[in-house]
């Protein structure tokens, strides 16, 4: 039961006596039993709970993937509002968060940059200065330098949300240059120029490099301003970095994405402004003292409006932007036509879901070529997270989450990026990288070249779940493509008053058809009788080991718990469609499915009769044989033997009777068999594709018609309201005149 049927028997041979003795030698504590080649229950438990019997292949936890593909071909571990330790309102900003996030393997961090108000004019990082504490930009840069390449040597991307004036932008660029030194990638690599159609460099090409993601000036504008800056500085004008072209035209920015690139930063409405410092302080104090109610917070949220990042970019900062140039998203067709791989766009989760709903395949193709970043919508003032899986399904590289919030979304993220040595980069599946492949993330049929799987999990027992006498139960969920995702469906019974060693012994939870195992993850979670999480574990399916496994649990922040485990039996198989089970069994063990004649021939050989002594005769099935076949349904799927189809060697070929017999021997083809033929399936797929296209067209027309009708209704209602107001005024005037 410990063997994974997916493994090749030559590359991964079965355990033999020598291997069994090695296990006994390693885990058996009793020396006498070791010499006898016997393992005790204690030794067997040690083996079951060892790393050798881990629920995942240990090599998947090391760096095992190719790292020479373009950046766009990887999922990149990404953080949103990295500086925050908690909520957005009244939250605390901390430099330490950058250290912790980078040490956890994150490769894309966010810096919300604003003008500092002190005498030193130092740029700060804060959440739109909306009731959050401030931290110095230079302190964050120093922290990033210290921890960027401790866990992983692969590139770090700094996502600047730039609201600073040009003077403070210049200070930002100088801090990056001086503190990062050679770690900062200031110029594109010679092998990967910033040209149309040129692919992005690979993680290996950018090892120990820091990339800046910030809006960039158009090349000609950048050159003009840099030349002016150099002339001013050569002339000894120290104020040059401050004053140079302070009021740029927005058209000089290279199609910078504003509404969708920058995550929503806020400023108060007319009743409350961010620049009103005393008001801000009063509100912040109220939040900290707990005087602000949920209703107050919701009212503030309603009075907020978005403020995009600045388009007034300092040329010196602009020169430091290369392989992560944000541009305003103008459509998938435009992006494909431009074919500029170093351009990228950001989408809040709602916009991203909208594009997935209407242009799923185009979104996948876009992500094969260039990068996209997804971030939480502005309404998540509590720093909660959206579910990242649907965006991974579309190949989005930077699915940015609030690392400070240990919710289900963050658990999925940490469990996924634990693979490949926690380096922060995961290679996307082949069909999500190749331009000649088409992938629909909402597909309900197996992907070409990908073998669907069947996974079953039997939850047997728990160990050391709690030292209290509480009730516990286990939930088993699957996350992947929409058709693979099964949530809140499989859970064990509640075992009361036993948190130490509850026994569940449930029937296996079967995930019958997982069409894309490469993207699927299994989640096993233990809850108490108050539905409070005790521990959980995220296990990506492509590295899951079959067999009896002790699965060690993690807390909600994905930190290992020392003792709690769940004992499970995991079975992994290749998915077999309904009705084909007998055929697969026959192929895997042909001896069980030999025909009656072949069995009789074997029995004759056992009695000393040679095969050459047995003549081939017409296969007119007797009543008894037919009766035997009727009682044995498996015989119906047995392929005919070669001897049954071979013409008699003793008869002449010219005989009409023999020819008729030969015709009788030709097996009949049933309609069910025809349905499995390639041509039929091809036509069926074509028909389904046309049907889907028709449905899509109909949905689009329906949406357009609905929108048109809504617009017309709105106009009619507005006109009615206008006329109503007019009549009411006339009525009031008439009443006043009479009065």
Count CA within 13 A, CB hemisphere, residue 232. Answer: 15
Q: Quote the tokens at residue 528.
A: 């108490």
Contacts of 347 (CB under 8 A, 6+ apart): 260, 329, 355, 372, 373, 374, 375
* Cβ neighbour number for residue 676 with a 10 Å cutoff: 11
Active site residue 80: yes
Q: Catalytic residue, from 69, 73, 80, 550: name it.
A: 80
Contacts of 376 (CB under 8 A, 6+ apart): 80, 263, 348, 349, 383, 384, 385, 386, 400, 401, 402
User: d(Cα 716, Cα 708) in Å, to the nearest integer?
Assistant: 12
* 155: helix, strand or coil: coil
Burial class (CB in 10 A: 0-12, 13-18, 19+), 643: middle
DSSP 561-585: EEEEEEEEEEEEEE---TT-HHHHH
Q: Quote the tokens at residue 621.
A: 């099935």
Evaluate whether 376 touches 348 at the Cβ level (below 8 Å): yes
Burial class (CB in 10 A: 0-12, 13-18, 19+), 97: buried
| CA neighbor of 392 nearest in space, from 78, 692, 66 | 78
Evaluate whether 147 touches 103 at the Cβ level (below 8 Å): yes
User: d(Cα 478, Cα 481) in Å, to the nearest integer?
Assistant: 10
Residue 56 per-residue DSSP state: B
| CA neighbor of 64 nearest in space, from 56, 55, 72 | 56
Q: Catalytic residue, from 127, 192, 263, 314: name it.
A: 127
Q: How many residues does the chain have?
A: 739
Which positions are annotated as active-site residues?
Answer: 80, 127
């Amino acid at each position: 039961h410990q063997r994974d049927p997916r493994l090749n028997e030559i590359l991964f041979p079965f355990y033999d006596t020598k291997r069994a003795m090695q296990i006994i030698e390693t885990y058996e504590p009793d020396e006498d039993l070791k010499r006898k080649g016997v393992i005790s229950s204690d030794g067997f438990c040690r083996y079951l709970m060892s790393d050798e019997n881990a629920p995942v292949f240990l090599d998947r936890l090391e760096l095992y993937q190719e790292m020479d593909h373009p950046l766009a071909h990887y999922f990149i571990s990404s953080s949103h509002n990295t500086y925050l330790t908690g909520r957005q309102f009244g939250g605390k900003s901390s430099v330490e968060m950058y250290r912790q996030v980078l040490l956890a393997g994150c490769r894309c961090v966010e810096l919300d940059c604003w003008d500092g108000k002190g005498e030193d004019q130092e740029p700060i990082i804060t959440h739109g200065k909306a009731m959050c504490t401030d931290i110095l930009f230079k302190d964050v840069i120093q922290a990033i330098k210290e921890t960027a390449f401790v866990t992983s040597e692969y590139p770090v991307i700094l996502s600047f949300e730039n609201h600073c004036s040009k003077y403070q932008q210049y200070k930002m660029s100088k801090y990056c240059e001086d503190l990062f030194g050679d770690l900062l990638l200031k110029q594109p690599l010679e092998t990967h120029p910033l040209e149309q159609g040129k692919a992005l460099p690979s993680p290996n090409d950018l090892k120990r490099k820091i990339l800046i993601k910030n809006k960039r000036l158009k090349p000609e504008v950048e050159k003009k301003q840099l030349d002016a800056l150099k002339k001013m500085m050569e002339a000894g004008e120290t104020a040059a970095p401050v004053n140079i072209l302070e009021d740029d035209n927005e058209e000089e920015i290279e199609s910078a994405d504003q509404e969708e690139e920058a995550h929503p930063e806020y400023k108060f409405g007319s009743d409350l402004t961010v620049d009103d410092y005393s008001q801000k302080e009063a509100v912040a104090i109220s939040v900290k003292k707990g005087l602000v109610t949920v209703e107050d917070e919701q009212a503030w949220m309603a009075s907020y409006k978005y403020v995009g990042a600045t388009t007034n970019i300092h040329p010196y900062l602009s020169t430091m932007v290369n392989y992560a140039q944000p541009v305003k998203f103008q459509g998938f067709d435009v992006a494909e036509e431009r074919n500029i791989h170093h351009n990228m766009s950001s989408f809040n989760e709602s916009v991203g879901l909208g594009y997935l709903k209407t242009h799923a395949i185009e979104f996948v193709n876009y992500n094969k070529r260039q990068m996209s970043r997804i971030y939480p919508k502005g309404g998540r003032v509590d720093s909660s997270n959206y579910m990242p899986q649907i965006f991974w399904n579309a190949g989005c590289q930077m699915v940015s989450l609030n690392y400070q919030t240990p919710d289900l979304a963050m658990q999925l993220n940490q469990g996924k990026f634990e693979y490949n040595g926690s380096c922060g980069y995961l290679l996307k599946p082949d069909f999500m990288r190749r331009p000649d492949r088409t992938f629909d993330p909402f597909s309900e049929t197996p992907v070409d070249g990908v073998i669907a799987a069947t996974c079953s999990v039997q939850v047997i027992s728990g160990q050391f779940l709690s030292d209290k006498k509480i009730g516990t139960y286990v939930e088993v969920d699957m996350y992947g493509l929409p058709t693979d995702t099964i949530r809140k469906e499989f859970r064990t019974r509640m075992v009361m008053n036993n948190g130490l060693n509850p026994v569940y012994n449930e029937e296996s939870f079967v995930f019958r058809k997982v069409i894309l195992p490469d993207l699927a993850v299994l989640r096993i979670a233990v809850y108490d009788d108050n539905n409070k999480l005790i521990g959980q574990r995220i296990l990506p399916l492509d590295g899951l080991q079959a067999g009896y496994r002790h699965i060690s649990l993690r807390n909600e922040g994905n930190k290992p718990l020392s003792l709690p485990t769940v004992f499970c039996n995991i079975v992994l198989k290749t998915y077999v469609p309904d009705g084909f089970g007998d055929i697969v069994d026959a192929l895997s063990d042909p001896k069980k499915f030999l025909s009656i004649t072949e069995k009789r021939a074997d029995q004759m050989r056992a009695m000393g009769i040679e095969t050459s002594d047995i003549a081939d005769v017409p296969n007119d099935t007797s009543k008894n044989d037919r009766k035997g076949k009727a009682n044995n349904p498996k015989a119906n799927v047995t392929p005919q033997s070669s001897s049954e189809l071979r013409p008699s060697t003793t008869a002449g070929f010219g005989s009409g009777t023999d020819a008729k017999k030969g015709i009788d021997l030709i097996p009949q083809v049933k309609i069910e068999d025809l349905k499995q033929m390639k041509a039929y399936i091809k036509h069926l797929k074509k028909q389904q594709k046309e049907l889907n296209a028709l449905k899509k067209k109909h949905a689009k027309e329906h949406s357009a018609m609905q929108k048109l009708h809504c617009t017309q209704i709105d106009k009619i209602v507005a006109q009615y309201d206008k006329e109503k107001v007019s009549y009411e005024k006339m009525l009031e005037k008439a009443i006043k005149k009479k009065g």
